[in-house]
Structure 1
Amino acid sequence: MSEIKASELVLNPDGSIYHLNLKPEHIAQNIIFVGDQFRVQEISKHFDVIEFKTQKREFVTHTGTYKGKRISVISTGIGPDNIDIVFNELDALVNIDFETRQIKQELTALNIIRVGTSGSLQEHIPVGSLLMSVAAIGTDNMLRSYRSEGHTNLAMEDAFIQHTKWNAIKGRPYAIEADQELIAKFRSSEMHEGITITAGGFYGAQGRVLRIAVEDEMLNEKIDSFKFDTHKATNLEMETAAIYGLSKLLCHHSLSLNAIIANRKNGTFSDNPYETVEKLIIYTLDKI
């Protein structure tokens, strides 16, 4: 087996992985993703012990223990492109020998839980709710850089394309389910469930218009009414499908959870979004 070139597996002078500034011993098998770097400390403040902290750019990592369970919290920043960096570097930390630059014979599967905020697309999911993404549809094309045949849900993709009259010039959306064991572990009467739509941007990609006309002015209305099997499209954000897609390709386990702080159907926004986020943090830590 040939070694991975230095230009492909980039390490810092101290031997840590390039962007995350981490060495293999710095991360736990159970990992929480957050977008906002300042939310890392809002989770790690609940730890019994914090054993390690580092930051490089927007990537902040705290590793410690909560009720005896070792957990790492990592901020990914915004968007599928950042998820591509974080996921590949985390996988390298556990599945590539940095000394020999070869893939290990025995691979490690990580458990990755995203804790984020989002706005609901459905009237029945009010502000203050918790939402679990049982599947996600990526409109960002990030996963199409990889050989993903056989890993995506073609039926869900076709249904979304037909329902939204998706313009092929934007590329084919990809659909991925969450890890079934994690769904079962985190499922409860407190948790709503649905399909998350992941966009590659915040403005035009999510139908927001400032000074540039969007390709499909009705896209958001089409997304709101999309349903596949028993689940509706419940929220729109920028990371979940990328997380699910790379999890599938790299054989990790992932689940995305959201604190609902706005409801687009009702036009409402939370009076106390931090309370909902804190509720989700405690829920996640206890379930892990």
Structure 2
Amino acid sequence: MPIKDSELILNADGSIYHLNLKPENIANTVILVGDQDRVEKVTKHFETIDFETQKREFKTQTGIYKGKRLSVISTGIGPDNIDIVLNELDALLNIDFKTKEIKNQLKSLNIVRIGTSGSLQKNIPVDSFLSSSYGLDINGMLHSYKIESITNPDIESAFINHTNWSKDKARPIVVKASEKLLEVFRGSQMFEGLTATAGGFYGPQGRVLRLPIQDENLNSIMGSFNFKGTQITNFEMETSAIYGLSELLGYHAVSLNAIIANRANGTFSKNTSKVIDDLIVYALHKIVEKITD
């Protein structure tokens, strides 16, 4: 049965509604960045760029890096934007835009997030790299989907008990990264741990400016969480959404974080551009060396 026009929305030129892309515009490996200005920080290393477009905060460039075709897409900030990006990428891949029916043979993508984050652990300093072995969803977006197959109840229950998690908040969800892609980026430069994904930057991440927050001790309590050696290493706003939707769609996904702040000791990077650029170069090298389409 065809998908209704109100559900799968296409632009007048036949491209998908928000991303402004057609199926031929994306590569099998997609690099996600939050900031639209960061797209060109990645693609400046490419030999060629054969396609580019932008609509709202969603900027895409597709080109060739050392013989490998890659797409770089800016998502903007937050799990709600990830919901748009992942669903529309999958529509490009697995829905026939002419018939508006799901294809019989489904395809998969490699999704690599290159983003910034703040560490919750004193031993993970600013200007370091971290790959997320798990995403901890504390924002609730994934509850809109049937997620029973991708959750990790043991870790989730331990977290709920440890933090005395409020019943007025969405139940936390823990989703694992793709082991295949985690292995690609492992190395002496890379920390690894459980990344918490909040639905906002201030109160949801324990920051206080003028408004009081529901749990002023949340960060320190989260920082002390330990489940069989797995700690909550950092806080950001996209990873769990990427992991959850990718797992549901049958994709491989990994989140790479440039640590630009340390929430445990209150420090911030003196040169955020350098650590981000260094992570981009590291990621591109590993993608070309180890990821096969």
TM range (shorter): over 0.9
Structure 1 alignment gaps of length 5 or more? none
What percentage of aligned pairs have identical amino acids?
A: 61
* Residue pairs, 1:88-127, within 5 angstroms: 88-127=87-126
* Residue pairs, 1:242-253, within 5 angstroms: 242-253=241-252
> Could you give the per-residue CA deviations for residues 232-276 of structure 1, whole angstroms, max 9, x where no partner exists?
111101100000000111111100001111222232222211111
TM-score norm. by structure 1 comes to 0.98
Distance 2:126 2:206 in 1: 21
Q: Kindly tell me the number of residue pairs found equivalent between the two proteins.
A: 287
Distance 2:146 2:50 in 1: 37
Distance 1:214 1:31 in 2: 36
* Residue pairs, 1:1-288, within 5 angstroms: 2-288=1-287
> Could you give the per-residue CA deviations for residues 30-80 of structure 1, whole angstroms, max 9, x where no partner exists?
000000000000000000110001000000000001011100000000000
Secondary structure at 1:170 match in 2: coil
TM-score norm. by structure 2 comes to 0.96
Distance 1:11 1:147 in 2: 25
Secondary structure at 1:168 match in 2: coil
Distance 1:94 1:218 in 2: 43
Q: CA deviation at 1:152?
A: 0.7
Distance 1:187 1:281 in 2: 15
Secondary structure at 1:285 match in 2: helix
Q: CA deviation at 1:9?
A: 0.3
Distance 1:183 1:216 in 2: 32
Q: Once structures 1 and 2 are overlaid, which stretch shifts more, 190-199 or 228-237?
A: 228-237
RMSD: 0.9
Contact 1:193 1:231 in 2 (8 A): no
Q: Once structures 1 and 2 are overlaid, which stretch shifts more, 267-276 or 3-12?
A: 267-276
AA at the equivalent of 2:127: G
Distance 1:33 1:128 in 2: 20
